[in-house]
Amino acid sequence: MKSCKQLFSLRGVFTILLPVMVFNISSMAQEIPTKGELKKKLTPLQYKITQEKGTEPAFTGKYHNSKEEGVYKCICCGNSLFSSNAKFDSGSGWPSFYEPVSEDEIHEESDSSHGMSRVEVQCNNCKAHLGHVFEDGPEPTGLRYCINSASLSFEKEEENLEIEEDSFEIEDDFDTEEESD
């Protein structure tokens, strides 16, 4: 009886803790790489665009035409930035989204370079340059996040599901161990 009670209370504690643990993992800020690490990790074009506010030539990037389902992450720090659900074909030659995954993941700065008045978009975690946001996008936001492919790393939908399954396996292992006592 005693061990049964113990098992019950441990389960109770774990049931409360598990969502908290999963939530913390998913919302945990990604580590910010140093400039030196980025020099090694990124191609010269990716470095120039993300760290020196460059722009890739239109229609040359990896993702402007991509219709695969998944999440676009920051090439520098891995922060989730845009979902394929918000991607649309703007015809501009750059990947375009009408909204970010969350406004918290994006930092906006006014940019008056090249004789234009624009709003620059950065990764809010590592401040990598991503592109610009314009007010000529489609509904529901009317915004067009015009992003360089070189600032992004795409993760397909299936890979995300695998991560979720893994976190449920932790619960299964825990229960098995307790019951064998």
Please state, in angstroms and rounded to a whole number, the distance separating the CA atoms of residues 158 and 151: 22
> Which CB atom, from 74 or from 106, has the smaller least distance to Zn ion?
74
Q: Which of residues 69-98 bind Zn ion (CB under 5 A)?
A: 74, 76-77, 79
Indicate the residue among 42 and 77 with the shorter CB distance to Zn ion: 77
Beta carbon of residue 148, minimum distance to Zn ion (angstroms, whole number): 13
User: Is residue 125 a contact residue for Zn ion (CB under 5 A)?
Assistant: yes
Q: Identify which of 143, 145, 162, 156 has the alpha carbon closest to the alpha carbon of residue 72.
A: 156
146 is annotated as an active-site residue: yes
Check binding of 128 to Zn ion (CB under 5 A). Answer: yes
Q: Which span (41-49, 106-114, 122-130, 149-157) binds Zn ion, by CB under 5 A?
A: 122-130
Q: Which residues neighbour 76 within 8 Å (Cβ) at sequence distance 6 or greater?
A: 32, 33, 38, 41, 42, 50, 123, 126, 128, 151
Closest CA to 60 of 134, 148, 155, 131: 148
Binding site for Zn ion (CB under 5 A): 74, 76-77, 79, 123, 125-126, 128
Residues with a catalytic annotation lie at: 146
